[in-house]
């Protein structure tokens, strides 16, 4: 059963004036997360590199930021939801980066999925301005972002964590405080490494089953009733069977997370042969032009006929 959208607390019901919020990065996730903050009645300023992506939220009540620097300068707490380490560094530490707008009393919360070293570099830059930093990558995809049921994996300045709890609770259903910067990134990469391998294994099973004459839709049903049942298989399986992969979690980001998880494993000399092999399959799918499709399109990398299981 699909998760129910939760009732959002509204600002008018609160007793004290609340901090103003900046939100940088309005992709699939950022748009839905910022929208929930706007809907809850907060004073939200949004910025995105492709400025047209701000239009809808501005028409719904958000203010338009001129740059990451201006947005962070105008707001008490700024969230950032960027594609990858390069984007996160650019937006935080670039020419018109958010860090330039920060100062004592302000906070920067990076909710992008990046590696620990990227997070630590941003932390150092934020600290140098006398501001506070929290890394807070999320588990959960487009639908949980829309429903406000994400899981936050936070680490960094505990005092900032305490301040942003009300905002995290608007955007999410649960939150973990994991201590030092890097631990949130590590938790997120471990979870997504497992997820990428699960999806590849599921695809492999569907393709093999089809080849030996089984009905893929029946395989999805059987998997859903046994010990390996998973919400992800139940949600993605039916559309995979139809060869349809509308992007919720883009395949290029899943491959990025595998790449970052493998680098993390390399740093501690931990063998991860399953993830290494799976990463090659995602790389092949990306090379075949599937990067902007949902990551469930990984199944296409197994198929000679690129139209999907039904063809
Ligand atoms: N989609 C999902 O299910 C989930 C995604 N994540 C993670 O969240 C992050 C965002 O994901 P998602 O919203 O799906 O991604 P999208 O690809 O939809 O959005 C990426 C965002 O990053 C911006 N961006 C990328 N590079 C730069 C740059 N150099 N400078 C400025 N802005 C940049 C894009 O701007 P522009 O619009 O101009 O291109 C866009 O706003 C990723 O780290 C992803 O791994 C985490 C959990 C779930
Ligand atoms: O990083 C993306 C995670 C997607 C999910 O948790 O469903």
Instruction: Encode pLDDT of 277-298 as tens digits.
Output: 999 999 999 999 999 999 999 9
Residue 301 scores a pLDDT above 60: yes
| Burial label, 20 (beta-carbon count in 10 A; 0-12, 13-18, 19+) | middle
Cβ-contact 239, 299 below 8 angstroms:
no
Closest residue by Cα to residue 69 from 57, 56, 80, 81: 80
Q: Mind listing the pLDDT tens digit for each residue in 190-201? A: 999 999 999 999
Residue 33, both tokens: 């997360």
Compute, in angstroms, the gap from residue 141 CA to the centroid of ligand 2: 5
Work out the average pLDDT over 249-269: 98
Residue 3 scores a pLDDT above 70: no
User: Domain locations in the chain?
Assistant: 11-181, 187-302
DSSP E strand boundaries for 15-137: 21-24, 44-47, 63-64, 77-80, 107-110, 132-135
Residue 162 scores a pLDDT above 70: yes
| Burial label, 53 (beta-carbon count in 10 A; 0-12, 13-18, 19+) | middle
Pocket test for ligand 1, best of 27, 190, 235 (most atoms within 8 A of CB): 27
> What is the band of 240 on the pLDDT scale with cuts at 50, 70, 90?
very high
Compute, in angstroms, the gap from residue 269 CA to the centroid of ligand 1: 30
Integer angstrom CA distances of residue 29 from 59, 111, 212: 18, 10, 39
| Domain spanning 187-302, CATH class | mainly alpha
Is beta strand 21-24 parallel, antiparallel or unpaired with respect to 44-47? Answer: parallel
pLDDT averaged over every residue in the chain: 94
Tell me if domain 11-181 and domain 187-302 are identical in fold: no
Residue 304 scores a pLDDT above 70: no
User: How much is the pLDDT for 309?
Assistant: 58
Cβ-contact 32, 141 below 8 angstroms:
no
Compute, in angstroms, the gap from residue 138 CA to the centroid of ligand 2: 7
Q: In sequence order, what are the residues at sequence separation of 6 or more whose Cβ sits closer than 8 angstroms to the Cβ of residue 13?
A: none
The minimum-distance atom of ligand 2 relative to the CA of 144 is: 7
Angle at 225 (CA atoms; ends 221, 228), nearest 5 degrees: 100
Helices and strands in the chain, H and E counts? 12, 9
The minimum-distance atom of ligand 1 relative to the CA of 84 is: 43
Task: Compute the distance between CA of residue 311 and CA of residue 309 in angstroms, rounded to an integer.
Answer: 6
Residue 305 scores a pLDDT above 70: no
Q: Does 279 contact ligand 2 (Cβ within 6 A)?
A: no
Work out the average pLDDT over 38-63: 98
Task: Compute the distance between CA of residue 247 and CA of residue 298 in angstroms, rounded to an integer.
Answer: 12
Residue 153 scores a pLDDT above 60: yes
Count CB atoms within 10 A of the CB of residue 268: 6
Task: Compute the distance between CA of residue 128 and CA of residue 234 in angstroms, rounded to an integer.
Answer: 46
Q: Does 202 contact ligand 2 (Cβ within 6 A)?
A: no
Q: Does 139 contact ligand 2 (Cβ within 6 A)?
A: yes
CA atoms within a 13 Å half-sphere pointing along the CA-CB vector of 50: 8
Is beta strand 132-135 parallel, antiparallel or unpaired with respect to 150-156? Answer: antiparallel
Task: Compute the distance between CA of residue 108 and CA of residue 47 in angstroms, rounded to an integer.
Answer: 14
User: How much is the pLDDT for 2?
Assistant: 38
> What is the band of 9 on the pLDDT scale with cuts at 50, 70, 90?
low
Q: Does 192 contact ligand 2 (Cβ within 6 A)?
A: yes
Ligand nearest to the CA of 199: 2
Marked catalytic residue, from 106, 188, 252, 286? 188
Pocket test for ligand 2, best of 83, 191, 192, 199 (most atoms within 8 A of CB): 192
Integer angstrom CA distances of residue 40 from 83, 186, 195: 25, 31, 31
The minimum-distance atom of ligand 1 relative to the CA of 137 is: 46
> What is the band of 10 on the pLDDT scale with cuts at 50, 70, 90?
low
The domain made up of 11-181 has a fold known as Rossmann fold (3.40.50)
Residue 160 scores a pLDDT above 60: yes
Q: Is 188 a catalytic residue?
A: yes
Task: Compute the distance between CA of residue 205 and CA of residue 199 in angstroms, rounded to an integer.
Answer: 10
Work out the average pLDDT over 3-13: 55
Residue 306 scores a pLDDT above 60: no
User: How much is the pLDDT for 18?
Assistant: 79
Q: Using alpha carbons only, how large is the chain's radius of gyration in Å?
A: 20
Residue nearest to atom 6 of ligand 2 (CA): 140
Work out the average pLDDT over 161-176: 98
Q: What is the dihedral of CA 64, 68, 72, 73, to 10 degrees?
A: -90
């Amino acid at each position: 059963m699909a998760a129910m959208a939760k009732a959002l607390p509204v600002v008018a019901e609160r007793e004290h004036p609340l901090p103003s919020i900046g939100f940088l990065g309005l992709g699939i996730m950022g748009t839905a997360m910022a929208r929930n903050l706007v809907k809850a009645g907060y004073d939200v300023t949004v910025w995105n590199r492709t400025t047209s992506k701000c239009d809808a939220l501005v028409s719904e009540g958000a203010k338009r930021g001129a740059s990451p620097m201006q947005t962070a300068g105008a707001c008490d707490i700024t969230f950032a939801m960027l594609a990858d380490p390069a984007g996160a560094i650019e937006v935080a530490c670039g020419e018109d980066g958010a860090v330039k707008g920060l100062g004592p009393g302000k906070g920067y919360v990076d909710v992008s999925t990046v590696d620990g070293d990227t997070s630590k570099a941003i932390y150092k830059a934020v600290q140098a301005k006398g501001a506070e930093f929290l890394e807070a990558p999320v588990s959960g995809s487009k639908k949980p972002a829309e429903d406000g049921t994400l899981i936050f994996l936070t680490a960094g300045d505990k005092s900032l964590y305490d301040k942003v709890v009300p905002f995290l609770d608007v955007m999410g259903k649960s939150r973990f405080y994991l201590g030092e910067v890097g631990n949130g990134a590590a938790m997120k990469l471990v979870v997504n490494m497992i997820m990428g391998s699960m999806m590849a294994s599921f695809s492999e099973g569907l393709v093999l089953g089809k080849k030996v004459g089984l009905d893929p839709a029946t395989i999805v049903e059987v998997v859903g009733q046994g010990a390996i049942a998973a919400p992800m298989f139940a949600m993605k399986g039916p559309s995979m069977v139809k060869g349809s992969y509308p992007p919720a979690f883009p395949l290029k980001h899943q491959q990025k997370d595998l790449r970052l998880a493998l680098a993390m494993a390399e740093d501690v000399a931990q063998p991860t042969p399953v993830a290494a092999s799976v990463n090659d399959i995602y790389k092949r799918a990306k090379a075949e032009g599937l990067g902007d499709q949902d990551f469930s399109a990984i199944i296409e990398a197994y198929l000679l006929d690129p139209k999907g299981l039904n063809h």
